[in-house]
Structure 1
């Protein structure tokens, strides 16, 4: 089958909600046309949406190598990198050991700052950053981050709760 035929199969799989099959079809299209940047990009988008971030990152990096002038590939690369940094930060926070608590929190915060730099539209990254800042005792910066999360997604329940907690006892206008 040709690469284009595999792409058609991939889209049919997406339509049916079978993202594993879609990714497999994108990979078969890549096997047919290994220098087609758009195939790698499409694979990356599907993998990122399915939570396979390393696979998504590898694919979008290849797309960007093949077509460095393509702005949408660069933007998607930044988005996937931001997702990876957010996940790494969460892992650092989960692995908080008594002796390395501050070090892990600092590393997590650095990763989250990089995530929001790369993808400034990620309400989730701002939300996790706000939680880390609150835990670190930096309430003013935590409030700023949670407000940014709410600006991006006013329905983000965790951000609404954290914002209420951070602003408790504060005047509405200051």
Structure 2
């Protein structure tokens, strides 16, 4: 038995904005074809969109294991791991204000996903919280090179530039 029917049902659920049902259908497709990397990849995307990062990473990892030559699967896993690192950085900042650890985690996230604008903005905020406005400004400007019309980044850049004076 193959999982194509379940995949179709999953897509129908997504179109109906029922992501939990889509997850169920993707899981049924995987039960039918556990070694199908594409199914794990698709489920991973749905988990990520549902803010279930741990499960998204689990299935993205499985997709890479099953089809290691897929650049798409490897890139997706890197993006998810970058999000995970950014979430860890946020926890470090909320808890005991471990700014050094947060900086390390955010820089690692940007190595994995150099297009992750939110990581640039958060890293700039961390630098600014330490009154390191030069690095805050440089960091937000790197983000602005990616997204020149990002309003929050433009506001941060102006603020840090002013603080540098």
TM-score relative to the length of structure 1? 0.89
Query: What is the CA RMSD across the aligned residues, in angstroms?
Result: 1.6
Q: For structure 1, which segment, 119-128 or 142-151, has the greater mean C-alpha deviation from structure 2 after superposition?
A: 142-151
SS in 2 for 1:134: helix
Aligned length: 165
Q: Deviations over 1:43-102 (max 9, x none)?
A: 111111221110100000000001111111100010000010011101111113xxxx3x
Please list every run of 5 or more consecutive structure 1 residues that lacks an aligned counterpart in the other structure: none
Extract unaligned runs of 5+ from structure 2: none
- 1:130 correspondence with 2:124: yes
1:3 aligns with 3
| 1:52 matched residue in structure 2 | 52
Give the superposition deviation at 1:163: 1.1
1:80 is aligned to 80
Q: State the distance in 2 between where 1:170 and 1:88 align.
A: 29
- Residue 112 (1) aligns with residue 106 (2): yes
Question: Could you tell me how far apart the structure 1 residues matched to 2:44 and 2:136 are?
Answer: 32
After superposition, what is the alpha-carbon deviation per residue over 1:115-148, rounded to whole angstroms, capped at 9, x for unaligned? 0110001111111111111112221221111112
Note the C-alpha offset of 1:161.
2.1
Within-5 A mapping of 1:1-174: 2-96=2-96, 101=97, 104-168=98-162
**Which whole-Å CA distance do the structure 1 matches of 2:24 and 2:151 have between them?**
35
**What SS is found at the alignment partner of 1:161?**
helix
TM-score (norm 2): 0.93
SS of 2:34's equivalent in the other structure is coil
What is the distance in 2 between the residues matched to 1:57 and 1:169? 39
Q: Deviations over 1:1-33 (max 9, x none)?
A: 741111001111111111111111111110111
